[in-house]
Amino acid sequence: MAEIEELAQQIADLPPEEQERLLDRAAALALRKGLRALSDRYRQRLRREARLDQPVEEIWRALRQIREEVAARDCPD
């Protein structure tokens, strides 16, 4: 816990521009980590459903269909 407090103090001591760059970088890393986790979960799901070797085009087609169904349901004309 002391390490976190030290790190927080180091960040607070940075000039505002560097704090902003650091926060932007942390956000980008968090996004990348989240996307990787999402990808891993989706890959696991495909494996469970025995669709891991399914061609990418078929997966994209199915995802497009889902998107269109959701859009039609949530945003009717």
The whole-number pLDDT of residue 1 equals 81
pTM score over 0.75 = no
Cα 4 from chain centroid?
A: 25
DSSP assignment, residue 1? -
Residues 54-77 have a mean pLDDT of 91
pLDDT of residue 35: 97
Q: What is the DSSP letter of 49?
A: T
Q: What is the pLDDT of residue 64?
A: 96
Residue 67's identity, in one-letter code, is R
- What are the distances in angstroms from CA 7 to CA 2, 14, 31, 57, 62? 9, 11, 21, 46, 45
Could you give the CA distance from residue 61 to residue 28 in angstroms, rounded to a whole number?
29
d(CA 59, CA 50): 13
